[in-house]
Amino acid sequence: MSTTFSPRRTLLMVLFLVLVWGINWPLTKMALPHTPPLLFSGLRTLIGGLILLPIALRRLPSLRWKTNARAYVLLGLLNVGGYYGLQTIGIGYLPAGLFSTLVFLQPILLGVFSRIWLGEMLNAFKVIGLILGFAGVAVISLGGLEGHLSPLGIVLALASSLCWALGTIYMKKQGANFDSVWAVTLQLLIGGAALLLLGSGTESWGGIAWTPSFVGILLFISLFVIAGGWLIYFLLIDAGEVSTVGAYTFLIPVLSNLFSMVLLGEKATVSLLIGLLMIVGSIVFVNRRPAANVLPKSTASPECSGD
């Protein structure tokens, strides 16, 4: 059942979301010298799922495992296995701020997929946003091909974004069949277990340096970025706050770049700045809605007076 939140609580939830998802990227980059990427992805997502499991168990009747098992597995493979697995490998090839910017082309991909699979219309703002976004990717990619950035890193970032977009579209299509808490908990547990299994076969557990800084980053990401962030994300979507989340999504790559400059000392190049501005602008356009025609108060009907 959907839950409605007050505007103030919604704003606080969204602000928490963009802050923790923004700082996630430089923290991930800081952790990677201490751990193989797939094992790190599996650990943080599996721990995040285990953190949420006690909350989900309180809603056991809404699990509906027999009905939704296949969907839970697919969400785990897309939103966790593909999204987190590819990003954790790919972020080693690019600056963290840039990598997050490319991944957050996801709203642009959502605009295309929503038109194809959900029948949503592409307004003029979305079309402009799509063109601007792909142009921004081209500018950044050209810089990478000249030797400043890794083309493989760009491909992995875009593939990570694609997995997340497909997972979100699938979640929207199947949303009426899911309980939000169980959906996020099970996809974290399933996806995390799959990543750990894959990592155990291709990487060495001995490659993890269990330093205090690494453990601190792992626990912070697992609790706040994975468990807290994804739970809030799906609760907002379940509450009908998709447009609110989308309107603030563009802040995440901007914050990630700022955090990366502070925590990692990353530098901003001309091509990166141009591409970043184009991509941020594209996401703003994609999330912008045409102004509605509002009648004067004296003639407005009740149907026209609400949001």
Structure-token pair, residue 218: 């792992």
pLDDT at residue 166 tops 70: yes
pLDDT digits (tens, 9 = 90+) for 199-234: 999 999 999 999 999 999 999 999 999 999 998 987
pLDDT at residue 144 tops 80: no
CB atoms within 10 A of CB 290: 9
Whole-number percent of the chain with pLDDT over 70: 87
Q: Which residue has the higher pLDDT, 60 or 125?
A: 60
Structure-token pair, residue 217: 């980053």
Spell out the alpha helix ranges (H) of 203-301: 212-220, 229-238, 242-249, 251-264, 270-287
CA–CA dist 279, 29 (Å, integer): 22
Q: What is the pLDDT of residue 294?
A: 45
Query: CA of 138: how far to CAs of 34, 150, 162, 271, 281, in Å?
Result: 33, 13, 17, 10, 15
pLDDT digits (tens, 9 = 90+) for 57-106: 999 999 999 999 999 999 999 999 999 999 999 998 988 878 888 888 88
Question: pTM for this structure?
Answer: 0.83
User: For residues 112 and 130, is the Cβ–Cβ distance under 8 A?
Assistant: yes
The residue with tokens 């045409």 is 290
CB-based contacts of 103, cutoff 8 Å, min separation 6: 87, 157, 158, 160, 161, 164, 253
- Range with the lowest mean pLDDT among 83-87, 179-183, 248-252? 248-252
CA–CA dist 153, 36 (Å, integer): 16
Q: What is the pLDDT of residue 26?
A: 94
Q: What is the pLDDT of residue 143?
A: 67
Q: What is the pLDDT of residue 213?
A: 96
Q: DSSP 3-state helix, strand, coil percentages of the chain (rounded to 5)?
A: 80, 0, 20
The residue with tokens 């199947």 is 174
Phi, then psi, of 179 in degrees rounded to 5: -95, 130
